[in-house]
Structure 1
Amino acid sequence: MNTFEDLFSEYAGRITDTVNEQESVFIQYCKLFSSIITDSFYVLDIVQKQFCYIKPDNLFLCDHSVEEAMRLGHDFYTQIIHPDDLPLWINILKIIPQYLDRKDKWNEIDYFSCTLRLLRKYSFSSHFLSQMVYQRMKPICLNNNLRYLICIVENSTDKKAGNLFLHNKDKSTYEEYNFITRRWKQDKIEILTEREKAILMLAQQCKNTVEIANELCKGQHTIRNQIKALFNKLKVHSMQEALQISKNRLK
């Protein structure tokens, strides 16, 4: 059975604009895929600096239309990304191809991820409000060169932008880019215990410490200590942060 990446490579050469009556099979596949996911989804052509497809979802579009985004292409980012984060995103679009020039890494890579702020305008406010989002970027290679990024955007509880991660297919390691030293650092993914996974699952259901203790038939003091140990392991200070990391980076 063909994967999404297989279909992309097969039909990439025949991608057409979304308003064209003779839509490519790939665009139809994108529409089908985007209709069953809740997050924003788009495909960026790195070489042409144009969008191949954008799901009509307001999280990424920020009250702009798909037609406007498709027309502006790469310049659309200047309309929706916080001015302080825009240089970061432009830099990321340079860093990823540079990293992928190491051809031996292609088979190991699953996807890249970053956080950044989008601009949102509300009628009751005289200025833009920023919304932190988490973006996953799946690289697609054509003729041994990066050509497309399949991007999925979702809400994030991270407090600041400025990170770039590489997630490997082995699910045991990841790499983080340091924008100051301009180097990648590899690290191991923390493996959670069965109890820690249960605590996170219950916390995701908005259960407090008392309720979690009752569900797991443990004392409240025991659960508090286990939550504290979990925070130390994940290097976070809140359950909200722990849930975000467990969703994006943990086994």
Structure 2
Amino acid sequence: MITEQDFFFSENEVKTVNEDLYNRLELLIRSTEAMARSLYQSVYLIDYYKKGFLFVSDNPSFLCGRTAKEVQEMGYSFYMSNVPEEDQKMLVEINSNGFKFYEDKITSEDKYRCYITYDFHLINQSGKKVLVNHKLTPVQMTPDGRIWIALCVVSLSSKKKAGNVEFHIQGIPRYWSYSFESHRWKPQEKVELKPEEKQVLTLSSQGYTMNEIADKMCRSVDSVKFYRRNLFERLEVKNITEALSYSAIYKLL
């Protein structure tokens, strides 16, 4: 059985943090709270020194029927109560191998530009499993480069199953995907969109119809359909909603 302590190990251990530093976190918490008010996603802060949650927004997609205060007080026990057991094991493996990769492979210059993304199920208040996407990025680090405070953003996933683990560094043309079969990280090249594909995506996100997009691009409807079809194939998605979600995750626009 997975316990809270299974999420902590040598790679994410923070041995000491001066209490004066905690007194300086008020601005970070207030800024995170303000950001959460403008997002549809749930946002929370993990404290790896105290091994709990520093802040939890009141956006409902992460709370599973609880209040933000209740989830913050629960900390990692929230996962024990609201994540299926098979996904708990997956999260422990992601946590372990993600931090090992971060510590062993990422230079100190790149550590603040990293984020990891993956999908897992939450059990909501009605007992149904909901697949969510979870992104984690460091916001406060110790002098030796350990993550002290991490920002997490939770939203509904566009995928069909749990997993889909990827490690990104902002500004570089590749990322790494994690294989649960080999338990290894594999380098991948990011997709580069053509100008027409970006325009189709941008106009679609603004709610324009196919005919309206064709008019704005000064192209035929068949040309727009061609751009969309190629876009779907390159991104390996089935519709424009999935394409927009993919583009947001990979920052293609």
TM-score tier, shorter chain, comes to: 0.7 to 0.9
CA distance in 2, matches of 1:68, 1:241: 33
Measure the CA separation in 2 of the matches of 1:228 and 1:13: 56
1:134 corresponds to: 133
1:53, CA displacement in angstroms?
Answer: 1.0
Q: C-alpha deviations, 1:122-142, integer Å up to 9, x for none?
A: 4xxxxx223222221102431
User: Contact 2:52 / 2:76 at 8 angstroms: preserved in 1?
Assistant: yes
Cα distance in 2 between the residues matched to 1:61 and 1:15: 25
Structure 1 residues 226 and 60: alpha-carbon distance in aligned structure 2, compared to 1, 3 A threshold = same
- Decide whether the 8 Å contact of 2:119 with 2:165 is kept in 1: yes
SS in 2 for 1:133: strand
Alignment of 1:1-251 (within 5 A): 14-15=21-22, 24-102=26-104, 104-108=106-110, 109-122=113-126, 128-139=127-138, 140-142=140-142, 143-251=144-252
Q: Give the Cα–Cα distance (whole angstroms) in 2 for the partners of residues 68 and 167 of structure 1.
A: 31
SS of the residue corresponding to residue 111 of structure 1 reads: strand
Distance, in Å, in 1 between the alignment partners of 2:20 and 2:58 is 23
Q: Deviations over 1:146-189 (max 9, x none)?
A: 33321011222222221111111224221111111111111221
What is the alpha-carbon distance in structure 2 between the residues aligned to residue 250 and residue 58 of structure 1? 25
Give the corresponding residue for 2:7: none
User: How far apart are the structure 2 equivalents of 1:46 and 1:56?
Assistant: 21
Please tell me the root mean square deviation across aligned C-alpha atoms, in Å: 2.6
Distance 1:224 1:171, change over 3 A: same
The alpha-carbon distance between structure 1 residues 93 and 48, as it changes in their structure 2 partners (threshold 3 A), is farther
* CA–CA distance in structure 1, aligned partners of residues 168 and 196 of structure 2: 25
SS in 2 for 1:41: strand
8 Å contact from structure 1 (residues 190, 250) kept in 2: no
User: Do the aligned residues in 1 keep the contact of 2:40 with 2:59 (CA within 8 Å)?
Assistant: no
User: Identity of paired residues, percent?
Assistant: 23
Query: Equivalent residue of 2:185, what SS?
Result: strand
Name the SS of the counterpart of 1:96 in structure 2.
helix
- Any conservation in 1 of the 2:119–2:157 contact (CA below 8 Å)? yes
Which string of whole-angstrom CA distances, capped at 9 and with x for unpartnered residues, describes residues 229-249 of structure 1?
111221222222211111111
Provide the residue aligned with 1:5 in structure 2: none
Could you tell me how far apart the structure 2 residues matched to 1:106 and 1:92 are? 21
State the alpha-carbon separation in 1 of the partners of residues 176 and 145 from structure 2: 22
After superposition, give the CA deviation of every residue in 1:21-46 in whole Å (9 maximum; x if it has no partner).
Answer: x9844433433343343321111123
Q: Which runs of 5+ in 1 are unaligned?
A: 1-9, 17-21, 123-127
Q: 1:31 to 1:250 in 2, by over 3 A?
A: closer
For 1:161 and 1:74, locate their aligned partners in 2 and report how far apart those are by CA, in whole Å.
19
AA aligned opposite 1:97:
F
Alpha-carbon shift at residue 74 of structure 1 (Å) = 0.8
Q: Across the two proteins, how many residue pairs are aligned to each other? A: 232
Closer, same or farther: CA 93–13 of 1 in aligned 2, 3 Å? farther
Structure 2: which amino acid aligns with 1:141? Answer: M
| Cα deviation 1:25-72 (Å, max 9, x = unaligned) | 443343334334332111112343211111122111121122322222
Q: Which residue of 1 aligns with 2:13?
A: none
Query: What TM-score results when the alignment is normalised by the length of structure 1?
Result: 0.81
Question: Which one-letter code corresponds to 2:79 in the other structure?
Answer: Y
Greater CA drift, 208-217 or 220-229: 208-217
Q: Return the alpha-carbon distance in structure 2 between the equivalents of residues 44 and 187 of structure 1.
A: 28
User: What 5-or-longer segments of structure 2 have no aligned partner?
Assistant: 1-16
Q: Assess, with a 3 A threshold, how the Cα gap between structure 1 residues 195 and 87 changes in structure 2: closer, same or farther.
A: same
